[in-house]
Structure 1
Amino acid sequence: MAEYKVSRSVIVDAPAARVFGLLASPALHPEFDGSGTVRGSLFGPDVLTEGAEFGMDMKMFGLPYRMTNRVVEYEKDRLIAWRHFGPHRWRYELEESPEGGTRVTETFDYSKGVPAFYVLAGIPARNAEGIEQTLVRLKKLAERG
């Protein structure tokens, strides 16, 4: 059975708490988003926690839209995931690396719902590219301090 997930990882030369702080701050999401779709934070807490809702100003294929997300997995400095009305979710796992720094893994999980739709629409491949760029930007942002 297929997993229906797209994941990429990077080692960031920064403590997990610093990386998590970026991920848990919706106002900073446009700074590290590599997909080019996240434009700004509309509402929600300054710092995300389990069950928090936050709204984002988005743009895809030249069309602006707004999205409300809910944090569905949360473990401070280790794990955060959110989803909107769709069944898929965005997940970030942080693990202190034995060599120093933090391994950050971002996953687009589309195993719920109708995975065939995502595949036919080319979403996994497009999201893989976005994840790769996001991790590059997140790494630079976290390492700057």
Structure 2
Amino acid sequence: MRATIADGKVTASAVVAAPPAEVFALLANPHRHNEFDGSGSVQSTLSGPDRLALGDTFGVRMKIGLPYRITNHVVEFEDDRRIAWCHWARAIWRYELEPVPEGTRVTETFDYGVSRFPKGIEKLKFPIANAKSIRDTLGRLQEIFGAPTGG
């Protein structure tokens, strides 16, 4: 799978062999985010509901070099179709689900063009690192749910 970087967004898609509701249940449970995180930075969830909804917040223990904590806010939500969150820098992590005959097409996007610091994000080469993390996350989702034959 290939990630694209354009217009302030890093995006990639993969098909998993599960219905959207099953995939969404995993994505909407912040206590399970470390199971599919391909970046290796999500350590554990400190706070938040078992199932996210629009406007919810959840705290996460992270590690990129040094350990830290971050609070995310759910900014987009359409049951079984789309969920997205951001933290204080306002870059958005978005998952969109589309039913396909083989299961679900999952599209993950890191939307840094809407952040407070898009130029800084580019200068620090986060889009390149996030392209790899997104590919790895989608690969983990395929490991969890299975990949369609030939997909």
What interval of TM-score do these two structures reach, taking the shorter chain for normalisation?
over 0.9
* TM-score, scaled relative to structure 1: 0.93
Q: CA RMSD in A?
A: 1.3
Q: State which of 24, 30, 33 in structure 2 corresponds to 1:29.
A: 33
- Within a 5 Å distance, the mapping from 1:39-118 to structure 2 comes to 39-61=43-65, 63-97=66-100, 99-112=101-114, 113-118=116-121
Aligned counterpart, 2:24: 20
Unaligned segments of structure 1, at least 5 residues: none
Q: How many aligned positions are there?
A: 141
- Read off the aligned partner of 2:54 and give its amino acid letter: E
| 8 Å contact from structure 1 (residues 39, 56) kept in 2 | yes
- How far apart in 2 are the matches of 1:53 and 1:106? 20
Q: Report sequence identity in percent.
A: 52
2:123 aligned residue: 120
Which runs of structure 1 show a deviation greater than 6 angstroms over 4 or more consecutive aligned residues? none
Work out the CA distance in 2 between the residues paired with 1:86 and 1:122. Answer: 16
What's the TM-score, normalizing by structure 2?
0.90
- Unpaired runs of 5+ residues, structure 2, are 1-5
